[in-house]
Structure 1
């Protein structure tokens, strides 16, 4: 399985690098406001996962700065995802609410729809 996954993963990363979307241009003040509104978000992901790439591309296209947590490089992130989120599926968006509750959002399309509300209309 590794012999299939590794080259496909590298191809996905290469194509993502070549055809990377552009972030919208904003003033420093506008970007600071957007960053403040997304400071409570973390994306648990794997670099070569196609659905994670799709989600990261949307994050870049929206011009959002969201903490990326690689569950393979950081075992504590993987353990937190399993313990608190309930499963080891990526991508997963951790949403920390003001009342200290946490929501774990798993599907890439649902994550992208949720993140779209943080991208101000220019």
Structure 2
């Protein structure tokens, strides 16, 4: 089963590389404002997870600079479990006004990003 997952993961990454969406271009001042808003966001993800790829493609389409965190590393997985409540990816960590929100489900994350930054 490990070999099948590994092969499928590499196929997903290959096609994502080949068919990567174009990054949205904004005026410099507007992009700087968006970068400031996304500075406190992190996407906990696995590189070859199809749902994580879906979210990363949406982030690229919007031209957002959201940091990605590899949740396979033990310390990040522990943080995800302890603070977020689930060891599930993709997960968007949003820190606003001193509060931290953890958003799961790729469709919910994409809808949130589209509503906020479109």
The two structures share one fold, judged by TM-score above 0.5: yes
Query: CA offsets per residue over residues 40-86 of structure 1, 9 Å max, x none?
Result: 211000000000000000000010000100112x3221110011111
Corresponding residue for residue 80 of structure 2: 81
TM-score by length of 1: 0.92
TM-superposed deviation, 1:90? 0.1
Task: List runs of 5+ in structure 1 lacking aligned partners.
Answer: none
Instruction: Report 1:31-46 matches (<5 A).
Output: 31-46=31-46
Corresponding residue for residue 4 of structure 2: 4
Corresponding residue for residue 103 of structure 1: 101
Hey, which of these two has a bigger chunk of helix by percent? Answer: 2
Of the structure 1 ranges 24-33 and 4-13, higher mean CA displacement relative to structure 2 is found in 24-33
TM-score by length of 2: 0.95
Corresponding residue for residue 92 of structure 2: 93
Q: CA RMSD in A?
A: 1.0
Corresponding residue for residue 68 of structure 2: 68
Corresponding residue for residue 115 of structure 1: 113
Corresponding residue for residue 25 of structure 1: 25
- Report if the CA contact (8 A) 1:34-1:118 is conserved: no
Task: List runs of 5+ in structure 2 lacking aligned partners.
Answer: none
Q: How many pairs were matched up?
A: 118
Q: Distance in 2 between matches of 1:97 and 1:16?
A: 31
TM-superposed deviation, 1:119? 2.5
- What SS does the corresponding residue of 2:44 show, helix, strand or coil? strand
